[in-house]
Structure formats: C-alpha cells, structure tokens
Structure 1
Amino acid sequence: MPPSPVRARTSPWLIVALLCVGQMMIVLDQNIVNVALPAVQSGLGLSSGNLVWVVNAYVIPFGGLLLLAGRLGDLLGRKTVFLTGVVLFSAASVLCGAADSKTALIASRFLQGVGGAIASACLLGMVATVFPEGRKRAQAIAAYSFASAGGGAVGPLLGGVLTEWLDWHWIFFINAPIGAVLVLTGLRALPRERGEGPRRGVDVLGALLVTGGMTLLVYAIVDAERIGWGATRTLLVGPLALLLLIGFVARQATAATPLLPLRLFRSRTLAAANLVQFLLIAGMFGLLFFGTLYLQRVLGYGALRAGLGFAPIAVVIAAVSLGLSARLLTRFGPRALLLTGLGLVVTAFVLLSFARADGVYAVDFLPAGLVMGLGFGLAAPAMMGLGMAAVAPAEAGIASGLFNTTQQIGGAIGLTVLSSLANARADGLAAAGKSRADALIGGYHTAFLTAAGCALAALLVGAVLLKATPPARTDEESPAPHGQDVAVA
C-alpha cells in the first residue's frame, strides 16, 4: 500500500511558487550559458573542443540521473530529494563561477548537472499533487510549464545582461542567492511527507543500468554533433548505451521492486504524452538555438539585443500559461488544447522558414515567435497534465523523472539532428558560391522546417493515441483538501 500523504497547513500557492522558482533556476542555467560561451572561451583560453564540454559536462549527468532521482523522491520523500539537489546545484554553481581553469569549470559543471537532475526530477510530481484535479491543479501545472518555457526564453536575455554588464562568472554566481532562498524557504514551507521508505528496497542493478545507459546515450548524442555519427567512438558508445538500456528494461520486468514499473506504460495516455513531449521538445530546441544564431549571425545583433528579442515570447508564454490555459482546459479539455497548441507551433516554425538574410526582426522573427509562444503556452500545460493524471500520487516522482528524461533526450537528439542538417545545407550552399548570410539562412530554413516536421509528428501522435477527454472539473466540483491542508504525496 502506498503511504498516506502528510498534510501541512501551508499556502498551496506558496508551494507552487517555490517549486516554479526552482524549475526556472535550473532551466535558466541550461540556457544562460549559451550566450556567454564566447566570453568563457576568451576568459579561460578554451579551444573549441574544450568549449563544447562546458555544455556537455552538465547535460550528460543531468540526463543520466533523472529517472534514478525521481524514484528516490518516491522512496525518501520528494521534499528531501528536491532540497538536497538545490544545495548541490547551488554549491556547484559557486564553484563554476570561481573556476580559473578549464578543468575546474568542466568538473564543476558536472557536479552542477548532478545537482540539477536531483532537484528537478521530482518537481513536476510535487506541483501536480499540490491540488486535487480541477482548475487550480491546471493552473499549478500551467505555472510549472511557464517556469520551464519562460526560463528558456529569459535565459538568453539574462545571459546577455550579466555577460555585458558584469562578466561571465555571474551567470553562475546568480544561482547561489536563489538557491539559498529556496532552501531556507523550502525547509519551512514545503509540507513534510513520508516516502515509501528505503525498506521497500532500491533496485540497485536497475539504477546502475539506467544511469549508465542514459549517461552514455546522452554522451553519444551530444558528442556525435562534434565528431559525426559515423565516428568510431559514436559507433561504440551508442550501441553500448542501447545495450545497457535494453538490460534495464529486462531487469524492470523481473525485479521485485523495479525502479521504473513497466506497468506505467500500460497507460496509453502516459506513453503518448511522453512521446508527444519528445517530438515537441526536439523541435523547440530549434527555436532557442537557431533563433539566437539568426539574430546574432544574420541580423548582426549583440548578445544583449538578441536576448531582448526573445522577451516578447516569454511574455506571451506567461500570459497564456498563467492566465488563459487553465480556463480553456476546464472548458475544452486537455486533448483539444494540446492539439490546438501543437498546430500553432507547426505554423510558427513554417513562418520562421521564410526568414530572410536581409530580414527585419519585426517581420521575420517576432510574428513567428509570438505564435510559438501562444502555441507552446497552450500545449505544454495540457501535455503535462495528461501525463501526470495517468499515474497514482505515490508514483508521481518517477513519472516526473520520466517526463524530464524524455525532455532531455528529445532536446539532445533534436538539437544534434537539426544542427547536422543545418550545417550540411549551409556547407552545400557555400560550396555552390552563395554568400555567408545566404548559406547560413539556408541552413536555418532547413532546421526550422525539420522542427516543423517534429511538431507535426507530435500533433499526429496526439490526435491518434490520445482519447478525447471531458473538460476538467471546476474546483467547486472537485474534492477539496481538509481545511487549508495541502498534500504533497
């Protein structure tokens, strides 16, 4: 029997706000670094080969540990795991900011990735169990999706501001005060909870298989972008990662206390929501990465101005996620909202594929960005809500870790594939005698159209596999917690 949730007389919206700040801090860090990479390279004298590991040293442990961290949250208590991750993430951020060599920075980024995985793995599960079903739960998940998407959009802006006004060290130091506030507030505000307990047993072999497999898979994907899919290292590491993951699946089918119960995938809704997210995020990484490149390399924007170019997108995502999506969810249901949002995302990428080499921001980028913000703001809360509603509260941690893992793998694969296609197209156009700007924009067009294809595939998966669902009950129709109690299972 799953343990009973422990209730605490804490403002539920304070809990949601606290968790969303934690999510935004982690997502910000993943995006804020990209804008500062040239300054980091110059400041530490890094080669191009070493520079890529400033990103990869974070991404690899982050993607590899999410499933394990999510399950530990169910066993030990998600509050405990979340705050432990925040402490490690914040401490590693200080080490990153103080780094004076490539070795120190890359090692600190690895620790930061470990802390980020531990902190973020349980976040969605905690947010989803603050409220019973109804409009407030939809609003809470919408706030979480805004923290994720808004952090991605604000990251380039904040990175540009800190890099140009201070220096690159502050893109890491800024996490320390945020983390300190999260820990001090979280110790008092987050409800106490009883996890299932370690006595249930931890599938150690399964944990080793999935962590090793996911780590090697992410490593193979991100490294393939630099050395090529046909490189010997890629051809060795990739199959080894898949072999470990196949072993993990086999282990889960026979383990007495599996790390990831395979019965979760009997839910077509959970499986479809994760597949939709994989495809959507694979495309969405194209907006942040190639959108930034278009503004800087083609339109000639500096880091700060390019970051400001993403601000309207963040505003739209905030307006839709925090103000509109919950009302629409209760009126039309999550499936309808998801499909509408995905259709808008496809439209936005198609619009971006017409961006010109001599373009103007207000014509060639902004309209598509606003449509993208509207589409993602509608689709993300509906997608997350569908997935989390398909699992019991006692398994919200592992489901949250699964969602985050799908997101990381989708982003890593998507960015690698999009980059490969864009670079190949740009090289071909340059070899044919096109100007640098025309060659670059040709490559970006290819990336945006491929991203549109990913979003279209997500739309088709959602339309075929997700059943039509009734609109969510209003909070008046939903069972309310006793008094002001809040349960975080």
Structure 2
Amino acid sequence: MVVLDISVVNVALPSIQRALGFDEAGLQWVVNAYALTFAGFLLLGGRLADLFGRKRLFALGLAVFSGASLAGGLADSAPLLIAARAVQGLGAAVLAPATLTVLTTTFAEGGARTRALAIWTAVGIAGGTAGNLVGGVLTEFLSWRSILLVNVPIGAVALVLTTRFLAGDRRAASRGRLDVAGAVLATAGLTALTYGIAQARTYGWGAPVTTAALATGAVAMMSFVVVEARFARAPLIPLRLFRSRAISVGNVAMVLAGACLNPMWYFLTLYMQKALHYSPVQSGLGFLPHTLVSIIVGVRVTPWLMRHLDGRVLIAAGALIAAGGFWWQSQITATSGYLTGILGPAIVFSVGSGLLNTPITTTVTSGISPADAGAASGLMNTTKQFGGALGLAVLVTIAGSHLDTPAALAADYGRAFLAIAAILVVVAAVALALPGQRDGERRRTMAG
C-alpha cells in the first residue's frame, strides 16, 4: 500500500483535476503532499518504533494510512484531498520503517533474514509497478476515488492479522525520551529540501522559492546534526551509526540507487502514453515484465547468490547490468516497438535492480543492535525516498525541451535514461568502497 500509493495516482490525475477543479499549479500537490510528508517524517517514524514498540506503531500506521485513504476517496474539494494525501504520507512514514524493523528484529542475521528482506524488497517493487496498472484499471473502469478507497479493506485485513499474529513487544521506556528537537529539525529540513527540489521542476533552480527552500533545508539539517551530536539525550539518529562504513557508504549507495530506480517509472509512463500513445491500462500491462523479472531475480536468485558472493560484488554487478539496460532504454524513438523499446531494456535493468536491491538493504541494516534497528530502518527509507525526489528533479531538468511532439519527447526521455545509466555506474564504484560482507550461512558453512 505504501509504495503503490506513490505511483497509483499518476494516471488518475486528469480525472481528479476535472472532478475537483484543480488548476495546473495545484494538481502537483496530489502527489507532492504525500511524498513530502512521507519523506519528511520517515526518520521520526523509525525512531518511534524503537521507543514505543514495533507492533504498536505498525498497527497505528495501518490505521492512520487506511483512515486517510477513506477520507481522500470521499473528498469533495481540492484542499480536502490534499490534506488527506498529506495524512496518508504521515501514516506511511510510520508504517514503512516499522515493517522493516519487524523483520530485522524477528529474523537473526543470516539466511532467514536474507530471504525475509528479499521478499520485503520484492513486495515493494511489485507495489511500485502495480500502481501504474491498478491506477489505470480502477480509473478507467470505476472512478479515480477507487484508487484511494481500495486501501481501506486491505488495511482493515492487515490490521486484523497484525493483532492476531504479530508478536507483541513492550514499550522501551528505558531507551529515553523522544528526541523532539531532532524530530522537528529533521522533518523540517527534509521537507524543505524536498519542497525545494519539487519547486525546481517548475520554476528552476535559481528561482527565489527554490533557493529559499533549499537554504532553509540545509540550515535545518546542519542544526539537526549539531543537536544530535551535542544536546540530544536520546538522539533520533545516533550519529555513532555512521561510524559503520556499511551504514555510511551503504546509504550513499542507497541515495544514488533511489535517484535512478524510483524516477524511471515516471519517464517510462510518460514515454508509453505520450510518445507511443498507449492507454493507461496498456501502460500498466507494459510494466508487468519489470515486476516479474525483478521478483524472480530478487526473491529466488539473489538470496542464493548472497550465499556464494560478497554483497558488494553483487551490488556493483547489479548496478552495471542495470546501467546497460538503461543505456539500451536511452536509444528509444517515437517509432520503437514494444519488444525493443520497452521489453528488452526492461529485462536487462530489472535483472540488475533485482541483484542490487536486497544486498544494499541487508548492508545498511546489518550489525545493528535492536535498540537502533528502527533508526537504521528509518534512515534507509529516508535516503531511498529522498534520493528518488532529488533524482527526479535533476532528471527532469536533464530531459530538456519538454516539446510535445512524440519524437522530441522520446529524445528527452532518452537523455534521462542515459543519465540514469551514468549514475548507476557511480553506484557500482561506491559499492566497491563497502566493507566485505558475506551471508551468514556461507560463513557457517565454511566454518563447518
């Protein structure tokens, strides 16, 4: 639900605009209200799971997310829909790190955790891809409201299963109070930076609204570091975590990977609908190979490889394979067929992304004490989402002219895909700076 709701509204935006009377400037906030609160509150959501219990926060996130989905689906005005989307993002920020924390504290490091993280990663990939198909089908055959209302029964079922099957945990009162100052500064900083990046897409990097937001975000983040290092009794993000090369370098790789793999859905959707003239449903169906290949590689192949290869080797290899796929994708034209314009590149870069996603996730959540598991999970999710926002803003600028002819659009999107390929080469280089890691099962096998 969390990942799907990032992309599910894209194909429904024209219907939402007609129904609620959005102007062009306001329509973007149907997407940005969710993205900003999601990215801005992720760190706080991760730490809350540590302080108040994984099960408790998981259930709270489900309830808030599902309730906001109901409100958004019933909204009869633009402000109400934007407010509901913002609350959805808040629920997602609590829910997303709680899901990962539940896994990392339930499964010990080794094969069991690797398989659990592989499934978690695959579900996220499937959710992101399915958003395009689900949004197209629901909008075309029901209503734009159904893309939000569908979360309500899913959330209700998940909440019942949570209360029945998820092991409870006690409130961690001994871990100290919530770092309110750090939470406010981190949330304000990341929100301002993300807002500035979003405004750069419309007004340019030198516009006053963009520079003011980015400057505010930078000052808030620098203040956050000072507070965490000098004043916080129970830091939101313990800076000692960054002494681990796996976490510091791994999160750099996560930012860069997010800057590539998240925005690619945006450009592929626009390419299929505007340059190739696919319908929303056809575009959603066109994404199915991406989902299937990523799940097969991520769930079946990558965990096996992690028992035999160093994690950093897999990350680097996956990044280079994905870079090759995006280079192929950059060769698109307005007359490219589905086989060579979509399917072929999709298979290649989906294999690469399937290889690198789980090792990165494993790297940045390994060697962490249970007390800091939520903080590490929140940090990882934040870097991934922030990387996606930053990457999209930069790539939209690189895409160029924004002319409406199919040939010009294909050329614009081709430049964006070429830039993605270049960034992934950098990801491969960063991966080589990670500490050597091997799956725990392999270590035990070798020891035996």
* 1:62-121 C-alpha deviation (Å, 9 max, x unpaired): 111111111111011111111101100000001111111111111111111111111112
Contact 2:33–2:85 (CA under 8 A) maintained in structure 1: yes
Contact 1:73–1:195 (CA under 8 A) maintained in structure 2: no
Contact 2:45–2:94 (CA under 8 A) maintained in structure 1: yes
Mapped to 2, the partners of 1:345 and 1:129 lie a distance apart of 31
**Aligned partner of residue 332 in structure 1, secondary structure:** coil
- Counterpart among 459, 462, 465 of residue 431 in structure 2: 462
Mapped to 2, the partners of 1:476 and 1:470 lie a distance apart of 10
**Aligned partner of residue 129 in structure 1, secondary structure:** helix
Mapped to 2, the partners of 1:459 and 1:397 lie a distance apart of 27
Contact 1:286–1:447 (CA under 8 A) maintained in structure 2: no
What amino acid is aligned across from residue 279 of structure 2 in structure 1?
G
How big is the shift at 1:290?
0.6
Match of 1:245?
221
Mapped to 1, the partners of 2:57 and 2:442 lie a distance apart of 32
Contact 2:197–2:389 (CA under 8 A) maintained in structure 1: yes
- Identify which range, 43-52 or 169-178, moves more after superposition: 43-52
* 1:186-220 C-alpha deviation (Å, 9 max, x unpaired): 01111111242276122221111111111211111
Mapped to 1, the partners of 2:357 and 2:411 lie a distance apart of 29
- Counterpart among 11, 16, 29 of residue 35 in structure 1: 11
**Aligned partner of residue 391 in structure 1, secondary structure:** coil
2:73 equivalent to 1:97: yes
How big is the shift at 1:402?
0.3
Q: Within 5 Å, which residues of 2 pair with 1:14-413?
A: 25-197=1-173, 200-254=176-230, 255-413=232-390
Structure 1, unaligned stretches of length 5 or more? Answer: 1-24, 479-489
What amino acid is aligned across from residue 412 of structure 1 in structure 2?
A
**Aligned partner of residue 26 in structure 1, secondary structure:** coil
**Aligned partner of residue 236 in structure 2, secondary structure:** coil
Mapped to 1, the partners of 2:341 and 2:279 lie a distance apart of 18
* 1:131-153 C-alpha deviation (Å, 9 max, x unpaired): 21222211100011111111111
Contact 1:274–1:403 (CA under 8 A) maintained in structure 2: yes
Mapped to 1, the partners of 2:281 and 2:443 lie a distance apart of 43
Match of 1:21?
none
Mapped to 2, the partners of 1:292 and 1:470 lie a distance apart of 37
What amino acid is aligned across from residue 449 of structure 1 in structure 2?
L
RMSD (CA atoms): 1.6
* 1:375-412 C-alpha deviation (Å, 9 max, x unpaired): 11111001101111132222110100001110111010
Compared CA separation, residues 225 and 211, structure 1 to 2 (3 A): same
Q: Within 5 Å, which residues of 2 pair with 1:441-460?
A: 441-460=410-429
Match of 1:483?
none
* 1:28-77 C-alpha deviation (Å, 9 max, x unpaired): 11111111111111222211111101011111111111111111110111
Compared CA separation, residues 100 and 247, structure 1 to 2 (3 A): same
Mapped to 2, the partners of 1:49 and 1:33 lie a distance apart of 16
How big is the shift at 1:338?
1.4
Mapped to 2, the partners of 1:30 and 1:72 lie a distance apart of 23
What amino acid is aligned across from residue 408 of structure 2 in structure 1?
A
How big is the shift at 1:476?
7.7
Contact 2:193–2:218 (CA under 8 A) maintained in structure 1: yes
Match of 2:440?
472
What amino acid is aligned across from residue 334 of structure 2 in structure 1?
A
Contact 1:134–1:475 (CA under 8 A) maintained in structure 2: no
Compared CA separation, residues 395 and 233, structure 1 to 2 (3 A): same
* 1:390-446 C-alpha deviation (Å, 9 max, x unpaired): 322221101000011101110100001111111x2x35xx5xxxx812211111111
Contact 1:228–1:234 (CA under 8 A) maintained in structure 2: yes
Compared CA separation, residues 272 and 232, structure 1 to 2 (3 A): same
Contact 1:126–1:396 (CA under 8 A) maintained in structure 2: no
Mapped to 1, the partners of 2:415 and 2:175 lie a distance apart of 52
Mapped to 2, the partners of 1:376 and 1:182 lie a distance apart of 28
Mapped to 2, the partners of 1:207 and 1:128 lie a distance apart of 23
Mapped to 2, the partners of 1:156 and 1:72 lie a distance apart of 31
TM-score, normalised to structure 2's length?
A: 0.96
What amino acid is aligned across from residue 209 of structure 1 in structure 2?
L
Contact 2:97–2:377 (CA under 8 A) maintained in structure 1: yes
Match of 2:408?
439
Contact 1:122–1:398 (CA under 8 A) maintained in structure 2: no
* 1:256-275 C-alpha deviation (Å, 9 max, x unpaired): 22111101000011111111
Mapped to 1, the partners of 2:44 and 2:340 lie a distance apart of 45
How big is the shift at 1:334?
1.6
**Aligned partner of residue 436 in structure 2, secondary structure:** coil
Structure 2, unaligned stretches of length 5 or more? Answer: none
How big is the shift at 1:475?
10
Mapped to 2, the partners of 1:133 and 1:74 lie a distance apart of 19
Mapped to 2, the partners of 1:187 and 1:152 lie a distance apart of 26
Identity, % of aligned pairs?
A: 39
Mapped to 2, the partners of 1:143 and 1:249 lie a distance apart of 34
2:394 equivalent to 1:417: yes
> Which protein, 1 or 2, shows the higher relative CO under an 8 Å CA cutoff with sep ≥ 6?
1
Contact 1:354–1:445 (CA under 8 A) maintained in structure 2: yes
* 1:149-174 C-alpha deviation (Å, 9 max, x unpaired): 11111110111111111111000000
* 1:322-373 C-alpha deviation (Å, 9 max, x unpaired): 2121111112132222112111111111010111211101111111111121
What amino acid is aligned across from residue 217 of structure 1 in structure 2?
L
What amino acid is aligned across from residue 120 of structure 1 in structure 2?
A
**Aligned partner of residue 451 in structure 1, secondary structure:** helix
Contact 1:317–1:373 (CA under 8 A) maintained in structure 2: yes
* 1:250-295 C-alpha deviation (Å, 9 max, x unpaired): 0111122211110100001111111111101101133201111111
